[in-house]
Amino acid sequence: MRAAHDRDPAARGVSSLEILTSWPGVHALLVHRVAHALHEAGVPLAPRSLAYLTRAFTGIEIHPAAQIGEGLFIDHGTGVVIGETARIGDDVTLYQGVTLGGTGFEAGKRHPTVGDNVVVGSGAKLLGPIEIGDGAKIGANSVVITDVPSNATVVGNPGHVVRVDGERPEGADADWIHLPDPVADAIRDLSARILELETRLAAAAGEEPPAQVRPLRPVRGRSPAGG
């Protein structure tokens, strides 16, 4: 409930009782605490039954064996899947549709290890026994299959690091709209370079320069004409 108060804007001004009775992420985590304790005690059937009922009522599936630290906040929660050997640190935030899954049928550690203070955006898939460093941010719909360093920002499919120890987007801790887009940046750079070359060719041939098509935003480090 503390995590919901701190990290969910919809919980501002809402009583703890309302959060306790109405937030599916809180329900799923509380039941998981019980299921995990029963699993660790070797109780048969009951842990998986509790997990099954939680999935049916909340849309959140957490394997009883998954290890979860303090302060996990699951926002909305529908479609969240946390696998058997997943480990989650303290004060982690997961948005709807996040999967901490495996990549095959091998035994042993096959799900991600997520550090402290990590934020995972909607629909992101973290697959395999990878490690996500403390303070990392995973962009919405990213597919991450390799380790992520601490304080890094990852976007794309496959996920790639676009920022490490960089400044957070202005105005919010989870501003998914303004995450860097390296593919779009590369296309803008190429467009500017092509325009520059066409302009030079037209000048050499004594022709009119080509029409200038400006990108949606200025290309980093150069003008639209390539200067």
State how far the alpha carbon of 9 is from the alpha carbons of 6, 172, 174, in Å.
8, 11, 12
| Residue in the structure block whose two tokens are 């998954």 | 66
Catalytic residue among 76, 111, 160, 178: 76
Q: Which residues pair with 120 in a beta bridge?
A: 94, 138
Take residue 120 and report the two structure tokens written for it: 């995972």
Can 76 be counted among the known catalytic residues? yes
Residues 67, 84: Cα–Cα separation, whole Å = 8
Take residue 82 and report the two structure tokens written for it: 């946390």
Closest of 7, 4, 24 to residue 15, by C-alpha: 4
Take residue 55 and report the two structure tokens written for it: 């999935």
Q: Would the CA dihedral through 106, 141, 147, 81 be positive or negative?
A: negative
77 phi-psi bin (left φ>0, alpha ψ -120 to 50, beta other) = left
Active site residues: 76
